[in-house]
Structure 1
Amino acid sequence: MSAETQGGFQSIAAVDHALAVLKTLATSAEPLGVNELARRIGLHKSTVSRLLRTLENHHFIQRDATHGRISLGLGVVALAGPMLGAMDVIAIGRPVLERIANTTGETVSLALWNGKEAVMVEQVLGTRTVVHYTWRGKAVPAHSTAVGKIFLSFLPDSEVRPILTAPLERFTEFTIVDPDKMAAEIARIRQTGYALNVEENELESCGVASAAYDFNGKVATVLNIAIPKYRFDGEQQLRLAEIVVEGARELSGKLGYGNRAR
């Protein structure tokens, strides 16, 4: 495998050439033959043919059955799909966040699941003097946040059990670290459709969250309302729970949930 220096670092030629193939196909208005592809990239036909065989094995390119012309394959879509899906969720969800933030005066956010933690990907700040703020891309623990507990509640029991039996980190005196209590909390969330965080991750910081579903009936994102503890009494908990569940239902509809062909 050859390498060449570009911009002060070692560039692997085969990777550069494979990317050149994909970029050329992406900018072409029509499928290309091997000869034309090789000419545009400036490589020998035999080199391009070898690259194409590898890319085809991974479904990054496809050939039409009649002339063997080449275009991008579904493997590229699968690779970019998670990122594009996240971008769609953010774009579609922001008006819902804005409406809830204006209605409640509290900060509203969206979170995605990275397989271990909830990641905050969008937020709209509340209109009150004191509001909660978090940065986009921040990962928050699963067991001590409302958004994280929602994601946990949708995992199969076989995946939840190892998480609960591992030592749960205590962040405040209110963090649930007992596995049985957390299992009961998850059962309650599955029944009610929303999760609460009452100073479990940070003192004076609370939240209420609910899941929004995509076209396939899977959790697309979790919607969360953050609120300081002094404004989060029992009555307000119930009010915001109703609002966040309704907001998640609205977002689910915008994401196509319930419209899947039977």
Structure 2
Amino acid sequence: MPASGTSKTLHHGLQVLELLVQHPSGLTLTEIADGIGVHRTVAHRLVKTLEAHYLCRRDRFKRISLGTGLVRLAEPVEQDLRTLARPVLEELSDSAQASAHLVVRENADQVRMLMIVEPRRAPMHVAFRSGQLDPIGRGSAGLALLAAAPPVPGEREEVTRARERGFAVSKGEIAPGITGISAVVHTGRDHPETSIGLSLFEAPNPDELGRLVVTAAKRLSTQLT
């Protein structure tokens, strides 16, 4: 249910877009209606409105998918941060031969994957989808952000440990079998709280990888502050 004081129609329209993000090959109108819990007639009006703004489109089989209008809307989002972060992430990814990620704090309870760069020469690597939301208390990215704040009663041992050594390590918290290593990026007031890190299948030497991540975080911090 939408929050009190908000637009129910807009809420449902955004639900359609979020649903289509999860199904890049597209959905039928009935699947959309069922997916967001509305009548097919309501879903039809929502999709027609989104189509008029090029936010979704139908193929010749009448399956509905995201539209190119979203590219224009998304381009300005944290553009400076993403532009500066890309070469840092690319260098980190190539050095560690692992996927490198940039994560921002979305709200008090969640973090969002803003960007991920995959290694160019690694035989295997971890793949995530940009934009995904995760709980701030799970995964190295969120733990690193929590560790940047003063200690609080009852905090996880991993947060305390991250504060002591300057980077956070998690194992299997976002995806089974995946290790995350992240450090906070000091961005100043113009950007959200941010962390940079690595996601990989195996981390035989987390301290060495942690040093790479901290170096990358400091490099990006210097450019942003």
**Is the 8 Å Cα contact of residues 206 and 232 (structure 1) preserved in structure 2?**
yes
* d(CA) in 2 for partners of 1:102, 1:89: 20
Judged with a 3 Å threshold, the aligned counterparts in structure 2 of structure 1 residues 185 and 85 are, in CA distance, closer, same or farther, namely: same
Contact 1:145 1:197 in 2 (8 A): yes
Q: Tell me how far 1:200 sits from its aligned partner.
A: 2.6
1:113 to 95, 105, 117: 105
TM-score (norm 2): 0.60
Identity over aligned pairs, percent: 20
Runs of 4+ in 1 over 6 A off after TM superposition: none
Q: TM-score normalized by structure 1?
A: 0.52
Q: How many Å separate the matches in 1 of 2:186 and 2:216?
A: 12
Of 82, 88, 91 in structure 1, the residue corresponding to residue 80 of structure 2 is 88
In our comparison, the structure showing a higher alpha carbon Rg is 1
The alignment status of 1:98 with 2:90, answered yes or no, reads yes
Distance of 1:138 and 1:122 partners within structure 2: 10
Structure-2 residue corresponding to 1:125: 118
- Matched with 2:171 is 198
Rounded to whole Å, the distance in 2 between the matches of 1:123 and 1:245 is 17
Q: Which amino acid aligns with 1:204?
A: G
Paired residue for 2:145? 151
Return 5+ residue gaps in structure 2 as ranges.
Answer: 1-8, 10-74
Give CA deviations for 1:19-63 in whole Å, capped at 9, x if unaligned.
Answer: xxxxxxxxxxxxxxxxxxxxxxxxxxxxxxxxxxxxxxxxxxxxx
Greater per-residue helix proportion: 1
Q: Using the TM superposition, give the Cα deviation of residue 215 of structure 1 relative to its aligned residue in structure 2, in angstroms.
A: 3.7
Does the C-alpha gap of structure 1 residues 156 and 219 become closer, same or farther in structure 2, counting only changes over 3 Å? Answer: farther
The residue correspondences of 1:180-199 to structure 2 (distance < 5 A) are 182=156, 184-199=157-172
| Structure 1: runs of 5+ lacking an equivalent | 1-8, 10-82, 162-178, 257-262
Cα distance in 1 between the residues matched to 2:200 and 2:139: 12
> Within 2, Cα distance between the matches of 1:150 and 1:218?
16
| Compared CA separation, residues 217 and 155, structure 1 to 2 (3 A) | farther
Amino acid at match of 2:99: T
Equivalent residue number for residue 208 of structure 1:
181
Aligned residues: 150
C-alpha RMSD of matched pairs (Å): 2.5
Would you say the 8 A contact 1:198–1:205 is kept in 2? yes
Give, in whole Å, the separation in 1 of the partners of 2:87 and 2:128. 19
Q: Is the 8 A contact 1:118 1:151 kept in 2?
A: no
- State how 1:1-262 maps to structure 2 within 5 Å: 86-115=78-107, 116-126=109-119, 127-155=121-149, 179=154, 182=156, 184-216=157-189, 220-228=193-201, 231-233=202-204, 236-256=205-225
Contact conserved, 1:199 with 1:205, CA < 8 A, in 2? yes
